Amino acid sequence: MREKIYVHVADDHKILIEGIMAVINTDEEIEVRDYSLTGQEVIDWFDNNENKADVLILDITMPVLDGFEVLKYFKKNKINQKVIILSSYDDVKIVQEVLNLGCKGYISKNNAGVHIVKAIKAVAKGQQYFSDDIQGILLQSLSGEMVPQGEMPDKFLLDSLTERELDVLKLITKQYSTAEMADFLNLSVNTVETYRKSLLKKLNVKNAVGLAMYAVKNNIV
């Protein structure tokens, strides 16, 4: 009979812990032994507990001590704890930083359900594991480029927009088509078209992308 894999889960959202437990406990090989709601709790648990966990599922953002601090603690004390990061942050820098801190797996919360069990088993065996979206981010980072930006948002232009134009602008940034906007706003397609053209003219851009970029620059989204 194969030995069980013991897991400790750390996340400040209890509901998410319950979700993970529900998913993990469908697998006979894995058992969630305990959980923590803050980084401090994690460290305390590993300090004062004989029943260490084989794998630690760790959130980045937690009160008291975040995931980074927990990883640093393990590294500092040369504790060879296998850690899988479960995070909403799909940023390259964060992924690279936790890898430097010795974590063995990284799963985006967006699709944790399909990855968590596989990840635990892989990491327990000493392998690494990354969900496919994280893999993509790591690959992309190899051909990265940085372009700094610096422009003043144009208050005059922004003020000149009417309520309806702002409605349309916001929906455009959410990828609505004209027909969809008309439906949503209970307006004629022609009317929405009018606002769209008015926006193009007022903001002096050539297409919907220009509108979206303007909206971003001026924190309308």
Applying CB under 7 A, which of residues 32, 86, 208, 215 lies at the interface with DNA?
Answer: 208
Nearer to DNA, 54 or 165 (CB): 165
Q: Which stretch binds DNA (CB under 7 A): 6-14, 40-48, 96-104, 175-183?
A: 175-183
| Amino acid identity, position 151 | E
- Cα gap 102→129, rounded to integer Å: 13
Residue 127 CB, nearest approach to its own copies (Å): 21
Cα 91 to its chain centre, rounded Å, is 8
Q: Which stretch binds DNA (CB under 7 A): 43-51, 73-81, 150-158, 183-191?
A: 183-191
- Cα gap 133→120, rounded to integer Å: 17
Q: Which stretch binds DNA (CB under 7 A): 4-12, 77-85, 94-102, 192-200?
A: 192-200
Task: Locate all alpha helices (DSSP H) within the chain, ordered by sequence.
Answer: 14-24, 39-48, 67-76, 92-100, 112-124, 132-141, 155-159, 163-173, 178-185, 189-203, 208-217
Q: Would you give the binding string for DNA spanning residues 146-165, x where CB under 7 A is met?
A: --------------x-xxxx
Applying CB under 7 A, which of residues 178, 203, 214, 215 lies at the interface with DNA?
Answer: 178
Dihedral over Cα of 152, 157, 162, 165: its sign? negative
Q: Which does 9 bind (CB under 5 to 8 A by kind): its own copies, DNA, none?
A: none
**Hey, what are 91's tokens?**
């940023």
Residues that bind DNA (CB under 7 A): 160, 162-165, 177-179, 187-191, 193-197, 200, 206-208
